[in-house]
Structure formats: C-alpha cells, structure tokens
Amino acid sequence: MAQYSAELDGVFLALADPTRRAVVHRLGQGPASVGDLAREAAMTLPSFMKHVRTLESNGLIRTAKSGRVRTCELNRERFTVVEDWLEEQRRLWEAGADRLDRFVTGAEERNDV
C-alpha cells in the first residue's frame, strides 16, 4: 500500500470537496468547458479555477485549451489507484470476517460437546 500512498492521498484530497466531486460527477457524462462547469458552481471563476487546478494536479481530469475555451475531461484511468486500494481493504475485511466466523463457529462447535 505504501507504494501508492501519496497518489491515493492526492486523489482523496481532491475528492474531499463537494464542488470537486460535482465536477467529477458532471465530467462522468462527458467533457465540458470550464465556463459551463463554473456556471453550475456558486462561485467566481477564479475560485472555481482553483478547484480545476486541484483536480488536474492530482490527475483526475485533463484540460485542453482551444482558442479561448478550456475543456475539461475526466481521466478515468486515475481512479484505478482508488479501486486498487478499495479492493485491498475489501480483502482485508473479508479475511478478518472469515477468521471471526471460524472462531465463532469453532466456539459453538466446542460448546455443543
């Protein structure tokens, strides 16, 4: 887990804010301009751009500028670090639950004797 800890921390930091989660949710439907995304947020464009930079610097979105329009696109591959971490946590929890089940079942079997 330590090998991707910094990456994971950055992704979770970026997703910790409701505005950034709303942007990720919206970009899940397809690319959008910063202007369109900013209109959906209740803040000024400079404040909104801080959120865009946080998402971009943590690899969750990509931006491209064409003329005066900056378009954002979700970087779906970046979410694999979260998926891998969640899978590891699931395995740990399931292993613990299996050990607990064996312990409880073993204790019940000893009480039946």
Kindly report the CATH number assigned to the domain that includes residue 18. 1.10.10.10
Give the Cβ contact number of residue 73 at 10 Å: 13
Q: Which helix (H) or strand (E) holds 32?
A: strand 32-33
pTM for the model stands at 0.76
Lowest pLDDT segment from 17-21, 77-81, 89-93: 89-93
Under 8 Å CB-to-CB from 51, ≥6 apart: which residues?
Answer: 17, 19, 20, 23, 41
Domain range enclosing 83: 2-112
Lowest mean pLDDT among 3-7, 56-60, 66-70, 98-102: 98-102
Q: What is the pLDDT of residues 6-59, one digit of tens each?
A: 889 999 999 999 999 999 999 999 999 999 999 999 899 999 999 999 999 999
Greatest Cα pair distance, the chain, in angstroms, is 80
Counted domains in the chain: 1
